[in-house]
Amino acid sequence: MNGKKTSPVILVTRKLPPAVEARIARDYECILNGDDRLYDDAELVDQSDGVDAIVCCHTEHFTRAVIGQLPDSVRAIVNFSVGVDHCDLEAAGSKGIVVTNTPDVLSDATAEITMLCMLGAARRAGEGFHMVRQDLWHDWSPTFMLGTQVTGKRFGIVGMGRVGQVAARRARGFDMEIHYHNRRRLAPAAEQGAIYHETLESLLSVSDVLSLHCPNNPDSRGLLNAERIGQLPDGAIVVNTARGAVVDDEALVEALGSDRIRAAGLDVFNGEPDGIHPAYRELGNVFVLPHLGSATVETRDAMGFRALDNLDAIFAGREPADRVT
């Protein structure tokens, strides 16, 4: 940072898309992360010295301890993410720090990845890809690598928010029957014929494909545990494009290993990226992706602009549209 401070100083913790960085550099004094190096907690605090707001991703952990050490100059944590489970909202709120996120703009991209995970798991795409690339494919036969068809099956959604609703629309394209469980029942116009289940147990019992779309919070952590997996139909498919923390990995791995669960399509993991359950790297019936839900050029630009709209509102003294605390 050079020269006299004339506008708010913004710490941008990760390398953002070029158009987003161009806008923030135009409008603010900013500290960019050209190398896209992941800051640990101590660096996050150090880098925040003299900063008015932080634009960050889910890769930075704003725990109570980190927030406690942030300088008083920090007025806002502006997330480039819809998930805010990496931020201790209570600690931020009690320090008077505004926290925002980026809803809506990533629903389409994430629902696309949901379909990819569902099909990848159902049609054994990971195994097939591996066979071709490793030159292990030398025959075709009527019984070769049979998967299961999703057309006409029941698609069970846990968390019928924005992404869940788009995933439902996409799954209807496969003639799937849509079922969901949500804290509140949606209005008929939003339901579009989806069948509401007041209890999770009721949803589980009819879900040929179970797709997780709820945020990670104390209510949802470890939600898909051994008991609930036991309530799924035999041979069900589990899809997770929400957060790894919603799944009890030991329970899912055990069910996948015994074929109680036919397959899983997972884009998110506990301990990602390096500390994921080792079985997810081994099991043939798991289709895995490296947290790509929102990873399209269009969506990442839109997330950045939405984050900057929130930032602009905060420094213009307006209420940011996506304030979470």
Q: How far is the CB of 184 from ligand DGY (least distance, A)?
A: 22
Report 82-101 residues binding ligand DGY (CB under 6 A): 82-83
Q: Residue 270 interacts with ligand DGY (CB under 6 A)?
A: no
Return the sign of the alpha-carbon dihedral for residues 131, 244, 213, 301: negative
User: Can you tell me the distance from the alpha carbon of 10 to that of 1, in angstroms, rounded to the nearest whole number?
Assistant: 11
Q: Is 144:198 a contact under the CB 8 Å cutoff?
A: no
Q: Residue 81 interacts with ligand DGY (CB under 6 A)?
A: yes
Continuous segment of H or E residues that includes residue 54: strand 53-56
Q: Is 124:263 a contact under the CB 8 Å cutoff?
A: yes
Q: In this structure, what token pair is assigned to residue 64?
A: 């109570």
Q: Residue 116 interacts with ligand DGY (CB under 6 A)?
A: no
Active-site annotation holds for 282: no
Q: In this structure, what token pair is assigned to residue 246?
A: 């919603």
Size of the site for ligand DGY (CB under 6 A): 8
Measured from the CB atom, is 81 or 165 closer to ligand DGY?
81
Q: Residue 106 interacts with ligand DGY (CB under 6 A)?
A: yes
Q: Residue 293 interacts with ligand DGY (CB under 6 A)?
A: yes
Q: Residue 266 interacts with ligand DGY (CB under 6 A)?
A: no
Active-site annotation holds for 60: no
Q: Is 159:212 a contact under the CB 8 Å cutoff?
A: yes
Question: Closest residue (Cβ) to ligand DGY?
Answer: 83
Active-site annotation holds for 243: yes
Report 13-72 residues binding ligand DGY (CB under 6 A): 57-58
Q: Residue 310 interacts with ligand DGY (CB under 6 A)?
A: no
Q: How far is the CB of 86 from ligand DGY (least distance, A)?
A: 9
Q: In this structure, what token pair is assigned to residue 300?
A: 């990442």
Write the CB contacts of 37 (distance below 8 Å, at least 6 apart in sequence). none
- Would you tell me how many other CB atoms lie within 10 Å of the CB of residue 191? 17
Q: Residue 211 interacts with ligand DGY (CB under 6 A)?
A: no
| Helix/strand/coil for 197 | coil
Q: Of 80, 85, 75, nearest to 101 (Cα)? A: 80
Stretch that binds ligand DGY, among 35-43, 80-88, 155-163, 310-318 (CB under 6 A): 80-88
- Residues forming contacts to ligand DGY in the complex (CB under 6 A) are 57-58, 81-83, 106, 293-294
Q: Show which residues are catalytic.
A: 243, 272, 291
